[in-house]
Structure 1
Amino acid sequence: MKAKKIIIGVFAVVLAMQMTGCKNNIDTSKPVVIDVSVSENDIESKAELTWTELGELKTCEKMRTAVDTVFGNDIVGGVKYGPFYIDKDGNQCTNNTLKVVLGNRYVAEMFATGGNVDIEKVDSSNLGAIESTTDSDEDTSTAMTESFNSSLASVYNDLSDSDQSPALFNAYFNLLPDSTPNYFNGGDTLSRAEAMSLVTRATTPVQSLNVSDDFTSAVTGTDYDQYINYAAQQNEHSYINTNDKSLTADNFKGAMSRAEFIYLIMNEVYGADEVQNYDTSKTTLKDCTNAGNLSEELKIADSDRCNGYTLKYSLENVDKGVTEELYKSIAMAADKGIITTETRWNEGITKSEAIEIVVNAFMQYYDEQGYLVNSAEKGSTQALEAAAEALWSKQDQNDMSCTKEEFIADYIKLISDGMTPEEFEKSIEGTYSIKFAEEMEKKEQENILNTHIRSLWENLKDRLTCDESKFTEEYKSQLDKEGDSFNEDNFAKYILDKYGKQEETKPSSNNNNSNNGGGNNSSSNGNGGSSNNNYTPPANPNPSDNGGSGSGSGGSSNGGGSTGGNDQPSYTPPTDNGGSGGSSNGGSGSDGNLDDFYDDFVNNDDDVDFDDWVHLG
């Protein structure tokens, strides 16, 4: 009975252990904390994590300029163009990612050859067209690497040789913030929050990210809360995740092992199915063995926190290796040259190593599977074409003097030559509007007409009583009324007849005042037949000889002489202001008719004298 009781007691203990989930002394009902060795100089990053479209980044200006110069990235109208700004479909894209940029074969070849790519030999239809201009190897110092290293020296003060390339990618693509200004700290171990976020930021365009409430509640409450949205995107690819409750706030802020990061990036690049189907039979690793199905061995398969406890067991028993699920990703990465056969799988992944593995993984993938873009185009006009088409749609197309295709071509050329989009839009009316062109032509004709009218006015204004505005009004009125039958000679006659001044006449130049010893005779001599309208006193009002009688003849009714003898002569102005007629001293007369002036003027008679005409009566 006693023995029976002991057996029953042991059975009860085993049954109780099974019911509580404590198998092989592992209680999966409790959260698991995974301890990974970290670097001695590890610094917890509290730097702000910003996310900006690639084409909008202004950080590390000298380094960015050096990269853009080497690869031919340009700013056109405030927009970035070039091989770093072409999406997977070959279109211009400012919101690009490291993943897509490395998928441009020109970029990959430039990095692989140290910038020795003959762009003239590029043919997008020929995958073998891109050739290196010189034989180069990894140890060759090139102008490209020297330029990059020099520009990085203005950004970081702590770069080792192995940090140069990772630091370049990190700074240009804004992958992770620097924990200390001007220090890359490439040897710092990354937390799971940082490592998962790094992969998202290297592969995802800037956008609003969706995060499940389960993920947020599981990891929130640490100094890495700003990483939650980015890290959540890699939850399915990560070995330690919230699906089996292994990823807690403690593990989120804890260091990620190299084994986990390799598993994460291989799933991201190649897909989980391909990774798990990988044949490892020919793989040889220096420091990692395949521990098989550890979850089955530990009797925790399908339990909560299974992955967490499995990894914890491996880290505590390094010589036994890692579970097959992790091993396959490590073996695949090593076989493809993404990592070396000395995997150091149990160490924490550092910032510099993580970025290097990301770059190596994508370069290897594209080299095997084919590139997204198979040419070395230095830019795409896709964005400019879209902008031009949008601008075209805003115009009254019935009023455009060009086709849509011509409009778009002009836009691309002018913007590429340095004109801003705002300047182009302001120029549209003057360049393409039919109505505007017609209005300008009408204004030009109006200006020519006004110039002509003003010239005519200058010739006639002294002989007219109207002002210039009236003169112009009369001219345009006659022009509108008569149209094609308008004759400027007729207009000149018309305007002079209507507004000509009533001209005053000058005194006769042949008047004679004679003193003949006996009297003073004043005669009016009809010189030229003009009437004498003005009386002019004699030049000598006190003649010395008043004795004789004078005689005279002329056209005046007062032409006779008077007897003298008076000390003070008396003067009687002529009463006859009229007529024309010849005198003994006179010539033939004229009535001063404007017809003669008009005939002379409009016929451009060189002998016409305007000063003479103005005094004709």
Structure 2
Amino acid sequence: MKRKTIISLLCLTMGLSIVACGKQENTAIVETTVESTEVENIVTEESKVELLPWLQLSSLETHPELRTAFEELLGVTVSEDGTKTGIIYTDETGKANQNNTLFNALGSTNLFIDTIRDTEKSEKIESIASDNYTDIEDNQSIVAVINAYFELLPDQSEGQFDGDSTISRAQAMTLLMRAITPVNDQQAPETDSDFTAKVGETTYTDFAAPMNDYCYINTSNGLNEKSFESTMSRGEYIYMLTKALFGDEYSSRLEEAGKEETDVDSVTFTTLKDGGDVTYQEALSSTDKGLPTDMFNTFKKAAAIGFVTEDSLNWDEAITKSEAINLFIDAVEVYQTNTGSVNTEPEETNGNTAGDLYVPTEEDNQIEDEASQAIAEATKADEQLQSEAGQTTSEESNYTVTPMTATLYAQQAVNLRQGPGTNYDKTGSLSTNQSVEVTGYTDVASGKWYQLSSGSFVSSKYLKDTQVSTSTTTKPSTNTNNTVNNNGGASNNTTSQPAQSSEEQTVSPSGSGDGSGSSRENRAGSTLDAGIGGEWNLQ
């Protein structure tokens, strides 16, 4: 990929630009003297622009073929009233949510482990992306499909993802807002008149406004109509992500999970330095001057949290559409993992550091034994169901789910399935006494099966309305946010579960691997070639 270097304009210039998702073609550049004047921004009904559509996730109808193929891959089911269930409609608390955001959907372990990090499904996603876009490059399939499904940023032309195109501040701010914000009842973001007066009325203005306070360049220090439509740098985007995601709410959730924030002071950079009160424009002109203190400290926090490294910052490059979505996924994965919502990495135990010989404690051995017992128990349950029904490997695809509502408890460790039968793929597991929300049932050859709020199925033989009494107890897990929920993912369910720890509730190991396209390595960056300068000040 061609490297485009940010060049700070030494003189004030004005350019006529045609912008298509960050692709800029300067048709004329004329040096001119800019007078500092206040211009009243008058907005009339005739000047109203058409906003991006904003509908709850289950109501979106864009990219119908892609949407259908992705839902089939994820096992999403649709009821007669249009209600959708499945991992992408399950929020980080484990509850079904028709108005789910990408942020909350990524709180499900299934979406990470069973999709984004699963090689086989990643290959299928590559096929879905290629069927709908003609310009998909390496490691862009997942972000292209996610962008289309969640309608983060609209395609500029049909069949083109434009993943390598740089995006403007307007687009980057809009992307983040739409990824983390549930749709309101009005199905339109509120208008911020002060923000609009500064940046002008555009397709993106109302969506971008809530992100203004998180941006390094904002309306208080130079964001105006021209800079709003100009390309955002990676440094600005990482700054915005860090400020928006890892604030007070993140700190509170860490505290609830019994964790401490990473010591930012422990992070040291070898190529970056604190430039004090140096302006951002000066930093771009000469990297030897260092970075503005606020930006430097924010980069240290991002590195301490773990979703970027010094080598991957590339702060002076332009942010592309594909990179922006990848960075968001990386940041949310770290957020959910750190706060206990998602556990994608094996936890260190025993206080051992990397390289030490691991010596299991008595509690570790007990957890491992109970986990093995749970796996054997769930496998035996599958075998028993197959034996009782004389079930073959052919799928029972013709079934009807009858709606019902109930809160039931698993009577033993049991696997969850994508459909009503053991011949369907596993989607997760339940541990003994784990509570689940049942939304329907169906009768097939292998018996009665319940459908859960996540969309997964489990045999009715193993669910009842009362918990199982246990004769032995073990130390309850202190990380209640890391239990396996009814879709095989993470749950914030804090219901007491005697004799169960977070480790032993993992009945069937999830697939690993990184075919996601959100790898933090080998991302070729491009940088701004038109400069962040002109008629605004960069602090």
TM-score (norm 1): 0.45
Amino acid corresponding to residue 338 of structure 2 in structure 1: E
Q: Deviations over 1:39-61 (max 9, x none)?
A: 99942699973222211123333
Quick check: 1:318–1:346 contact (8 Å CA) kept in 2? no
Question: Looking at both structures, which has the greater relative contact order when contacts are Cα pairs under 8 Å and sequence separation is at least 6?
Answer: 2
Change (3 A) 1:314 1:106: same
Quick check: 2:89–2:98 contact (8 Å CA) kept in 1? yes
1:292 counterpart = 2:295:
no
Quick check: 1:95–1:206 contact (8 Å CA) kept in 2? yes
Picking from 171, 185, 189, the partner of 1:194 is 171
Runs of 4 or more, structure 1, over 6 Å off, are: 31-35, 38-41, 45-48, 272-275, 414-417
Partner of 2:316: 346
Output the CA distance in 2 between the equivalents of 1:260 and 1:354: 11
Q: What is the CA distance between 1:413 and its match in structure 2? A: 4.3
Q: What is the CA distance between 1:293 and its match in structure 2? A: 3.9
Q: Which stretch shows the higher mean deviation, 38-47 or 155-164?
A: 38-47
Partner of 2:326: 356
What secondary structure does 2:212 align onto? Answer: coil
1:215 counterpart = 2:215:
no
Q: What is the CA distance between 1:229 and its match in structure 2? A: 0.7
Amino acid corresponding to residue 94 of structure 1 in structure 2: Q
Output the CA distance in 2 between the equivalents of 1:157 and 1:47: 27
Quick check: 1:88–1:100 contact (8 Å CA) kept in 2? yes
Identity of aligned residues (%): 31
Partner of 1:260: 236
Partner of 2:366: none
Q: Deviations over 1:478-521 (max 9, x none)?
A: xxxxxxxxxxxxxxxxxxxxxxxxxxxxxxxxxxxxxxxxxxxx
Change (3 A) 1:411 1:170: closer
What secondary structure does 2:124 align onto? Answer: helix
What secondary structure does 1:235 align onto? Answer: helix
Output the CA distance in 2 between the equivalents of 1:160 and 1:254: 25
Q: What is the CA distance between 1:64 and its match in structure 2? A: 2.4
Output the CA distance in 2 between the equivalents of 1:261 and 1:34: 24
Output the CA distance in 2 between the equivalents of 1:326 and 1:410: 48
Quick check: 2:140–2:322 contact (8 Å CA) kept in 1? yes
Larger Rg: 1
Output the CA distance in 1 between the equivalents of 2:241 and 2:85: 29
Amino acid corresponding to residue 123 of structure 2 in structure 1: E
Quick check: 1:83–1:106 contact (8 Å CA) kept in 2? yes
Change (3 A) 1:340 1:89: closer
Amino acid corresponding to residue 190 of structure 2 in structure 1: N
Q: What is the CA distance between 1:191 and its match in structure 2? A: 0.8
Picking from 266, 274, 281, the partner of 1:312 is 281
Partner of 1:147: 124
Unaligned runs of 5+ in 2: 1-10, 26-48, 252-260, 345-400, 407-436, 450-539
1:250 counterpart = 2:234:
no
Output the CA distance in 2 between the equivalents of 1:32 and 1:209: 34
1:177 counterpart = 2:157:
no
Partner of 1:56: 59
Picking from 61, 70, 74, the partner of 2:77 is 74
Amino acid corresponding to residue 74 of structure 2 in structure 1: F
Change (3 A) 1:80 1:327: same
The correspondence of residues 229-248 of structure 1 with structure 2, limited to 5 A, is 229-242=206-219, 244-248=220-224
Change (3 A) 1:272 1:235: farther
Q: What is the CA distance between 1:237 and its match in structure 2? A: 1.0
Output the CA distance in 2 between the equivalents of 1:385 and 1:161: 44
The Cα RMSD (Å) is: 3.9
Quick check: 1:44–1:179 contact (8 Å CA) kept in 2? no
Q: Deviations over 1:546-567 (max 9, x none)?
A: xxxxxxxxxxxxxxxxxxxxxx
TM-score (norm 2): 0.51
Output the CA distance in 1 between the equivalents of 2:114 and 2:273: 37
Change (3 A) 1:413 1:162: closer
The correspondence of residues 534-545 of structure 1 with structure 2, limited to 5 A, is none
Structure in which a larger fraction of residues adopt strand: 2
Change (3 A) 1:198 1:85: same
Output the CA distance in 2 between the equivalents of 1:105 and 1:280: 27
Picking from 97, 105, 109, the partner of 1:93 is 97
The correspondence of residues 592-607 of structure 1 with structure 2, limited to 5 A, is none
What secondary structure does 1:162 align onto? Answer: coil
Quick check: 2:128–2:145 contact (8 Å CA) kept in 1? no
Q: Deviations over 1:148-189 (max 9, x none)?
A: 101111111111113222212111111101112111111111
Partner of 1:501: none
Q: What is the CA distance between 1:311 and its match in structure 2? A: 1.8
Q: Deviations over 1:162-219 (max 9, x none)?
A: 3222212111111101112111111111111100000000001122422322111111
Quick check: 2:333–2:342 contact (8 Å CA) kept in 1? no
Unaligned runs of 5+ in 1: 1-30, 115-141, 295-309, 375-380, 387-408, 418-617
What secondary structure does 1:186 align onto? Answer: coil
Quick check: 1:291–1:321 contact (8 Å CA) kept in 2? yes
Question: When the two structures are aligned, how many residues end up with a matched partner?
Answer: 309
Output the CA distance in 1 between the equivalents of 2:114 and 2:293: 37
